[in-house]
Amino acid sequence: MVVLGKIVDPYGVRGWVRVHPFADDPQSWGRMASWWLGCEGQNDWREVKVRASRIHSGELLCQLEGVADRTAAEAMVGWLVAAPREALPATAKDEYYWADLIGLHVVNTAEVSLGRVEGLIETGANDVLRVVDAAGVERLLPFVGQVVLAVEKENGVVRVDWELDW
């Protein structure tokens, strides 16, 4: 499963929910017929039909099947929204789902290993790779063209212009 966002609030009184997107272009996955909902830290997903969706103030508003009123929508707050990888829209060249990057080995231009991508952080300016090496040292690398030179998913490698002591 690829986590796409998180339900953060009810919206209105008719069962709509506000979803904070973790992925670009939430409109495209907002048009998917079904989502899978689950709680963080668990691997128990349940499929839910999407009845309607729209973008409002940068967030996705959705009405889900079986969520009829505000009380039901409030009970959904904190749930993660996901989909199987094969159900997601294809990415364009040089675009990646975060789930495709997690676990990749990070190597700099001198072929020195910086560790593996353990996660990503969303900031207002750009996303940030959270890279952790075997000793537990964490490095935060901006996911921008000046730093990330290549993502070789087939080889399991992210090539970066970054030094160990930065």
92 part of a folded domain? no
Query: CATH no. for residue 20?
Result: 2.40.30.60
Are 53 and 74 found together in one domain?
yes
Q: What is the pTM of this model?
A: 0.68
Residue 79 lies in a domain: yes
Q: Are strands 157-160 and 105-108 parallel, antiparallel or unpaired?
A: parallel
What type of residue is 97?
Y
Q: How many domains does the chain have?
A: 2
The reported pLDDT for the residue numbered 2 is 83
> Does one domain contain both 80 and 104?
no
Domain assignment of residue 149, given as a range: 98-160
Are residues 59 and 23 located together in one domain of the fold?
yes
Q: Which helix (H) or strand (E) holds 70?
A: helix 70-74
Helix (H, G, I), strand (E, B) or coil at 60: strand
Same domain, 64 and 125: no
- Can you say whether residue 16 is alpha, beta or left, with left for phi > 0 and alpha for psi between -120 and 50 degrees? beta
166 within a domain of the structure (yes/no): no
- At 10-61, the pLDDT tens digits run 999 999 999 988 766 777 776 788 899 998 877 789 999 999 999 888 778 9
Q: List pLDDT tens digits, range 82-94.
A: 988 888 877 888 8
Q: Which of 86, 116, 151 is the last residue of a domain?
A: 86
